[in-house]
A and B are shown apart, each in its own frame.
Chain A
Amino acid sequence: MGNLFDFLRKHYFYFLFLLLESFSLILLVNYNEFQGSSLYTASNTVSGSVNKIFNGISEYFSLRKTNQVLIEELAKLHSRLPETYYKTDTTRHFYNDSIKALAYKYISAKVISNSTNKRNNFLMINKGRLQGLENHMGVIIGNKIVGQIVSVSPHFSWIMSMLNKDSRISGKFKKNNQLVNVEWNGGNYRKGQVKEIPKHVVIMKGDTIITSGNSDIFPEGLLIGTMCDYTISPDENFNHGELLFSTDFNSLGYVEVIIDIMRKEKEDLKASFNMR
């Protein structure tokens, strides 16, 4: 026994190294697999409050631009109000329609940390579980995609940006509804990769790619980007291309989170089928 302790004491540097290194790697792997783990959420709260303070300072530098965006948005919304429609008959324009059920709700949130320079980029916003946000909700800006929520704490949410190796969005060509997949392979944050374009689709530069609505995260028809480059590969079953994101990921100030009201119903439907 004494020999064992001597041995441990003599080589403790190696053992301590192995211990700490394996501990770090376990943390790393666990975090990748269970993104809602308690450690992750705790860190969300700690770093969230520091980021919030820092963001409070840097916010002042972009006040002018933010105002401009808000005014534009306000004008756009005003023009959609029922009062602005010319009424030719007695029909009224209701927003809360009893015939059409409400499918999506939108909650606006402020981005308090963001990056575009890493291989895997994330954003943090100042709304969380208390405001009704949950994992796998889509995040947009205007009608352009941003990412999806991967972790929520009471007051903050952590969003996996489109600029991430694990982001993969189901899109389609606006002109003919052909489905494709959109990914990002690092490097330039303005350009994404369009994968699996069927051979028979004639690709033109400037073609618009929108969300397909096939996933539960984004509704159909949100802007992803426009084709800026493509390669015809004769040896493969699909062609590949490159698109210019409509979203400028480097200047996100306020974003909107999509709450899919009917999500539970959709999930229950799938679950009930799998149960059979």
Chain B
Amino acid sequence: MDISSRTVFLNIIRFFFLIFFQVLILNNLNLGGYVNPYFYILFILLLPFNTPKWLLLLSSFLLGLGVDIFTNTIGLNAAACVLMAFSRPFVITIISDAPDSLIGDTPSIKNQGLKWFLYYVISMVLIHHFALFYLEIFRFSEFFNTLLRVLLSSAFTIGLILICEYLFYYNRK
């Protein structure tokens, strides 16, 4: 249960950077009306494995709320993020062969391998995007239209996350 102060500091910086990157740049992208990447959830994905569970939930809630404040959708991103954070331990248990002996302190391609990381990112992003887009619409009359938006946006978010992982984290250390 001990996390170095460097990790804490890095995560706090990442928290604010991702919120501002999301609201100032990604939210202004216009990609045909069907693609809205939500890259800021990278924060939840990259939290250390031994993050206390209450902190996992609470920081995800605050992250979602932070994005919500700028888009005036109070509660929307927060709800999706809390659901995603809640499912994170279960996803990790399901996709890992030996969940107790995960290498390294944070999830990454370098430590867990590309296959594990892909399973992890795809399932987490899909959970978040499904929750987010269906809560935003809040009606079933546009079910398939929304499904298309979920899938396209998820693909885009996953692509961004992988690019970022290779650019910034893969060659470190």
Contact = CB atoms under 8 A, between A and B. Distances in A.
Given A24-B79, A186-B142, A31 B73 contact: yes
Interface stretch (B21-29, B115-123, B161-169): B21-29
Give chain B's interface secondary structure class. helix
B17 interface: no
- Size category of the B interface is 35 or more
Contact of B72 (A20, A24, A158, A187): A158
A187 B30 contact: no
B49 to A, nearest CB: 15
Nearest to A42: B69
A117 B133 CA distance: 13
A13 B57 CA distance: 8
B33 A39 contact: no
A118 B74 CA distance: 15
A47 B24 CA distance: 11
A118 B77 CA distance: 14
B27 A20 contact: no
B142 A43 contact: no
A117 B78 contact: no
Interface in A23-37: 23-32
Interface string B67-109: 0111111111011001100100100000000000000000000
A17 B82 contact: yes
Contacts of B35: 117
B33 A24 contact: no
A179 to B, nearest CB: 23
A158 B27 CA distance: 17
B72 A185 contact: no
B36 interface: yes
Given A16-B54, A115-B27, 10 more contacts: A12-B53, A12-B54, A13-B89, A16-B57, A25-B79, A27-B78, A47-B69, A47-B71, A50-B70, A120-B73
Interface of B: 23-24, 27-36, 53-54, 57-58, 61, 64-65, 68-76, 78-79, 82-83, 86, 89, 133, 135-139, 142, 145-146, 149
